[in-house]
Amino acid sequence: MRLIPLNRVPDGATLGKDVASGRADGMPLLRRGTTLTPKFVGALLKAGIHAVYIDDEETRGIDPATVLSDETRSAATAAVSRAFETASGALAAGQPLSAEAIGELEAVAARMAEEIAEINDFALALGDLSAADGYTLQHSVDVAALGLLVGQRLFKYRGYTDYMGRQSWQRIDQRLTRLGLGLLLHDIGKLAVPQEILNKPGKLDPAEWEIMKTHPVAGTELLRSDLISPLIKVVVRSHHERWEGGGYPDDKSEGEIHELARIAAVADVYDAVTSERVYAPARPPHVGVRIIREGRGTAFDAEVVDIFSQIVAPFPAGNPIELNDGRSGVVSEVVEGQIDRPIVRVLGDGAPYELDLGEHPDVLITGWEDMDPTGDRIPARA
Ligand SMILES: [Fe+2]
C-alpha cells in the first residue's frame, strides 16, 4: 500500500484504506477496496482530500501502522460529536455542560487509552485522511490518540507530576484517561466561535483573531461543573500555551503550564499541520515532525518533544520518498533505532528492491536531510 496524491491516482486503482468523512456517525466517505474511478476521485477532491492510500503490486506488503482500530475511531468520533451537540445546547442556554453529558466520552477515552497501551509499535503513521469540513471532530480524536501515546511513554518512563509536584506512578491509567478526555474536548470552546471565523479560507483579521483566541476559556466555562476533573479543564484551558511564553489565554511558561497541557500542545500542533484545513492543505508528516522538533525547548517542552520524536516518524511506511541520488520509492518499513532512516522500496524502471538507509549514510532524503530550515512555522490556528 502507498500514499499517493489524488491527481496522480491511476484510473481503476484500489483504495487501500477507508477515507474518513469526519461526519458525526463515523461513517467513512469511501471504503477500502473501492475502485477509484474519475467520478470518485472528483468527489474526494471536492471534499478537500488531496491524497489517498492505494493497493498496488509494487508496494505489496507495505502496511502503514495505525494507532486506533476503525471501531474505536468511529466510536470516538460519534461520542465527541454527541458531546459537542449537547454542549452546543448548553451554550445556547448559558448553562455548563453536566458531568453526565461527558460520561460516554470518558468511557471512550478509557477505551482509547487501553488500546494504545497495547501498542508496542513505534514510528506510526498518525491521523486519518479526512475531509477538511469534518476537521474539529477528526482532529479531536487524532490529537487524543497522539497525546495518549506520548503521555503513556512519558509517564512509564518517569511517572507523572502530581498536585504536590512529586513524581508518581500510582494510577497512571486514570491519569491517562483524564488526559484522553481533556484531549477529546480540547477544542470544545470553538462552539462559541462563529462558523464564518472557524471556516474562513483566508487569514483572520485582528478582530476575528481575538474571537478565535477565546476558545480555550469558553471551553473551560462549559466544563465548569465541580464534578468534572480539574485535569480535564487544564488541558482545555492551556493547550495553546507555549513553553517560553507568548501563548494564550494566560501567557504561562515552562513549569507554570500543566504537564498534561504541554503534551496537548505538541499533539495539537502536529495534527493541525498534517491535516486538511479549509485554508491550508495537509502537509506531509516530515513537515509536522520538523516543526515539532524545531520547537523543542522554545514552543514546546523538550521532554515531551523527545518522546514524540521516538514515536512519530518523519517518513512513515507507505509514504513517498525521494533520494538525493535520483532514486525514489515508498517507505517500506521504519526500524527501531533509526526512525529517520527507514527502509525504502525503490521503484523505477526495473524490479522494485529494498534499500536500508541505515546502511547507506551517504544517501540522503530529498527535502529532509539536504535542506536548510524550511521556514515552516507553527500554524497560528491550531
Ligand atoms: Fe485549540
> Residue 381: its pLDDT value, please?
67
Task: Determine the distance separating the centroid of ligand 1 and the alpha carbon of 239, expressed in angstroms.
Answer: 6
pTM of the predicted model over 0.85:
yes
pLDDT digits (tens, 9 = 90+) for 201-232: 888 999 999 999 999 999 999 999 999 999 99
CATH code at 2-59: 3.90.105.10
Inter-helix orientation angle 70-92/135-158, to 10°? 110
- Whose cell is 503513556? That residue is 152
Bridge partners of 19, per DSSP, are 30
pLDDT at 131: 54
Please tell me the distance between residue 212's alpha carbon and the centre of ligand 1 in angstroms: 9
Ligand 1 centroid distance, CA of 259 (Å) = 17
Domain ranges of the chain: 2-59, 70-311
What separation in Å is there between the alpha carbon of 265 and the centre of ligand 1? 9
Query: For residue 144, how far is its CA from the centre of ligand 1 (angstroms)?
Result: 13
Which pLDDT score, from 0 to 100, does residue 174 have? 94
* Protein residues with C-beta less than 5 angstroms from the ion ligand 1: 187
| Distance from Cα 16 to the centre of ligand 1, integer Å | 31
Write down the H helix ranges in the chain.
38-46, 70-92, 103-117, 135-158, 172-184, 195-198, 206-212, 215-222, 230-238, 259-274, 285-294, 302-311
Given a cut of 50, the residues of the chain with pLDDT beneath it are none
Q: How far is the CA of 294 from the centre of ligand 1 (A)?
A: 20
pLDDT in the model for residue 367: 86
Domains 2-59 and 70-311 share a fold: no
Q: How remote is the CA of residue 187 from the centroid of ligand 1, in Å?
A: 5
Residue 254 alpha carbon to ligand 1 centre in Å:
19
pLDDT score, position 139:
84
Domain 70-311 CATH superfamily: Hypothetical protein af1432 (1.10.3210.10)
The pLDDT assigned to 44 comes to: 87
Q: 186 C-alpha to center of ligand 1: Å?
A: 6
Question: How many angstroms is it from 380 CA to the middle of ligand 1?
Answer: 10
pLDDT of residue 64: 82
Q: How much is the pLDDT for 325?
A: 94
Relative to beta strand 51-55, strand 35-36 is unpaired
Give 274 Cα–ligand 1 centroid separation in angstroms: 15
- Output the pLDDT for position 126: 57
User: What pLDDT was estimated at residue 337?
Assistant: 83
Q: Is 137 exposed, middle or buried (0-12, 13-18, 19+ CB in 10 A)?
A: buried
Predicted confidence (pLDDT) per residue in 317-331, tens digit: 999 999 999 999 999
Distance 180 CA to ligand 1 centre (A): 15
User: What's the rounded Cα separation, in Å, for the pair 302 and 157?
Assistant: 15
